[in-house]
Chain A
Amino acid sequence: MSFFLLDSGIPTAELTKFVNFSMGKFIPELILTAGFLFAIVLDLLIKDKNAKKLVGYFAFIVLAAAFAMSWDQLAYFHGEMKDIPKWAGGKMIFPYSQTLPAPQLISPSEGFFAPFSMVVVDNLSVIFKMIISLAGMFVVGMSLLSREVEDRGRRNGEFFSLLLAMTLGMFLMPASMDLLMMYISLELVSITSYIMAGFMKDSPRSTEASMKYVLFGAFSSGLMIYGFSILYGLTGSTNIMAIKAVLETQFLSGSVNTVALTVAVILSLVGMGYKISAAPFHFWTPDVYEGAPIPVTALLSVASKAGGFGLLMRFLFFAIPSNAQTMQPYFNWPIILAIMSALTMTLGNFAALRQSNVKRMLAYSTIAHAGYMMVALVSVGAFQRLIGQDPGSPSNAGITAILIYLISYLFTNLGAFYVIMLIANKINSEEIEDYKGFAKRSPLLAVSLSLFLVSLTGIPLTVGFIGKFYIFIAILKQPQYLWLVVVMALNSVVSLYYYVRVMQSMFIKQADAQTAPLLGEMEIQADGTLRYSMMSKIFIFVFLIPTILFGIYFTPLVDFAGNAIRFF
């Protein structure tokens, strides 16, 4: 970093101050990096395969620390804005403001923007980091209780260290301000997830998942970087604020090459759409989700998707300029996204209807949920000015909605995957048919899985409803997208059908000869229910309590998500 700065002719004392300041803002990522390296060493030091779990506990602590530091940053933006040195533009580390004229954005005299324009620390990225590290912590907890992971105890060390590396990538995704950084962070997440999806390398299903993931991932990130290169060719910069400035002048002077821009944006959307499994780039999702160990599936479905959304938001909001008068983006990406989202949820839901495997069904359901979240993004898109608006303005309502939805989805979806994992631990199956009569085998698990599924459907008194409620609020502020509201409402009804099938199997049907047998007779307690450890039972409530609590009283959720639009 300082290599670039030395050329900029800035006094060394100021430079040191600046580097120290910037590094201070990079602490969560630094913790993860150090944690990742240390986890590898720890893995090498521990010889006993049963003690490898220690790496998991270590990873949990690292993630908790990263979470705490991110939280600290959020608090920082709350109260101590004035502490940021003047030479940093009075904003955050990287001064950007829509009031700044375009050419000055990349001039070093305006606060070292150019050499440091890789990542940004603002409330939006911080909230994403918190969501991601929280998901990471939950997934570590899940992995420690997972039979699939435990059975391969010798390789537990690599599992948890990879998880840290993946989290690092996901931290950088929503914070990227540069096309190169976007690509690198995306690839960091992708490559680690290829390995983690294939973690059970003795299982053909898992290996197949990993292979498919690599092929799809390589293809789509190739297309994305092609799109980036066109964008670079059009604007001469890889920094998205600079791209925005150049595009704005081009649009104003009418010299913009619309065809090339359209191709570039669509190609870039391929890579990001693949990460959030949006149709038509979703084909990898069911196979990978089905084949990967359940904790990995849970991580991919929540954290990786959140990172993808952060990246997508960053790209669409910051790289593409909007008309200050009409408040419409010059390039009408909302309509592209609207079509994609309608397609995504419809395909996801209808494909889920026919699944017989719960994991695969949930994979399709996550596709549908990505579609719902894109609806919120569409509602932001139509209005693009973000700074200094009241929280009720359409764009801000959309951002609040997508964050609320992500948080609700974090608890609900992880909870659902967790219960499925606990069930699979005992019956070694994820077939809906094998869930028959499960309510008798374990009432707690059956009831909590049902509540998670009800929340995924979006029925009141669960947090899933609040997520949908806010997306409806956001999109209804854009009357031209009323059709999307109807599509989303109908899709929610369709989704009910397959979620209910699981409940039906557990509560209404009776276990019979075809139902999968338990892994051991010892597992059954005196009252006929399955034995689960105290820890695994308590862990259910980590997901269940927020699911219900935020469903009834969601003010804290809204306040938290509302942070993202302050000082944005």
Chain B
Amino acid sequence: MRLYQFKKNLRQAMDNNIPDLGWKDEARNSILAHIRKSKSWQEQPSDTGFEFGSLNSLFSGNILKPVAAMVLILTIVSSSFVTAVSAARASLPGDRLYAVKLGIERAQVGLTFSESKKTELEMSFAGTRLKEISTIIDNTTAEEAKNEVKLDRDPLEKSTKKKEAAENIGKAIERFNDNLNSVQERLEKISTKQDNGTPQQDETVGKKALEISKLVNEKTIDLEDNLLEIKQKITENAPQKEVAQPLAIDVVIKEAEEARQAAETVKDTSESLPAVDNSEKDVVLEATAATINKDDADLLETLDGALESVGDTNTKSLEVFVEKASESTDQGVKQEAVEKLQAKIVKIEKKLVKTEEKIEQVATESQGVGDVLLIEKSAKEDIGILNAKEYSIGHATGTAPIEETKAAGQEKEVILKNPAAQDASKESSSPIAAEGKESASSTPEILIDKKEDVLLKKEEPAKKEEVSIKDVIKETQEKPKQAKEAIKEVKKILDNKNTDNLGGAFEKVKEVIDIVKQANQTINNVQVEIKSQKKAEQESENIDKEAPKNLNSNPLNSDDANGQVQGEQVQSEKDNNNKAANKESASANSSDGEAPKEGVPAVAELNAEAVKS
């Protein structure tokens, strides 16, 4: 027998000898499970200390890095695609191979000729970004859970790690947005590219556009779901960390307490002590929570941006789809377009409800600011007739009684009591109330509080902003109504099965989307404004370490501590007014589903003072 024959036979004999398929899968799973648990994998996902041979040295050199990456990308793209690409594809933001991964993606898009294929690729890359983010979050949580004790002792390291993860997520989101943007551009190109060539060509182009816009439309819905999932993951993680933190907080509080006890021996202020302690704790807690949550908050904001981007892409794809569908002669496609529009409307309606809730929430928050301001101002100085007059000019309807009141401490009660003012506020909110939405129920309260805000803020330099916030909230509250009307019109068009006016329906839908978007944006801005306002107040309180501070920062347990400064001014005023006001405000609160929490104690305080006096 010849050697080559021997080789052939031997190989044949061996080729038939393969392991059982069932075993192969089983063993694979158990090996991968083992790897998942493996220590080095969980500890250092991005820097595992592996030696990458010659590639490693190429990558470590800064000059050669881009060249090496380019060469790699070219080789990968042009040759044995599947395994190599999937290898780099596994990398995450922050990994060494991540640049290669992005490069491969770009090259893939670059090497594709058809616009629709490019769009498809980019959509899938956007999906990959989200997967990466999800993996990063999972890894970070796993890591944190594992090193919980260690990390708790070392908050600095913890925050660095968190920051790193947040940065990497930010990177991925940035790319995600880029991907979606170019998808939108491509869609635009696809939709405009038509009038060149034979009608037959045009038809195929139109069909392609239909296909791709449909695909993008469906994918964006998936992406949105994924993004929401990620958002939920982050929000779920956030409170855990707060719970994990108290160790550190307790230490700080203990120190503060010790310092306080030392101070006590010098100066015996036994009555105010517990209240001060509480507020101290509060401040520390808030400060720590703020630093911990800042990263999360930033992340959530970025995610919101990404969500918006997805929404835009979805709208764009819908636009192209509807446009092409109305040009098409196929009735089935038109029907599909109608269905898609209806689905979009359902989504918008959901979003609208959320927006309304948000408006309500912000309005409630703004109420909190009003309360704090009221007490602070009343403790410090009188707000005279002048301010009240200015107010009444600003809000022409029946504010006369206010002009008669002179003491600042009474402003709140007066307004609450003032039926004319309430009427006015109800009036402005009545259209919304007619819609039967939740936001309507709390509107009178909100407006009243906003008036206080304006009233108190008149003498401040930032007066303009305050006015605008109030106006903005009022204006924003009108938006859902507008949106709903537009939705009604769209529904009318769609319900008639009138497929001729698809374009018109889409225009309306777009209008609604814009309204909702705008409302969301403004309400977010208002929220930020209010928050900064609150923060500024708190800071000024911290500087001014007098008794009034406790009233503001911690109204719930300051019933007995607040009497001193504020009481004297309020006392001289009519007690009856107080009682009546409390009754009114209580009834107003109880009529709300979600009465603003901060409003109640503030009123209760005044009530307590009144009883005392």
Indicate, yes or no, whether A interacts with B.
no
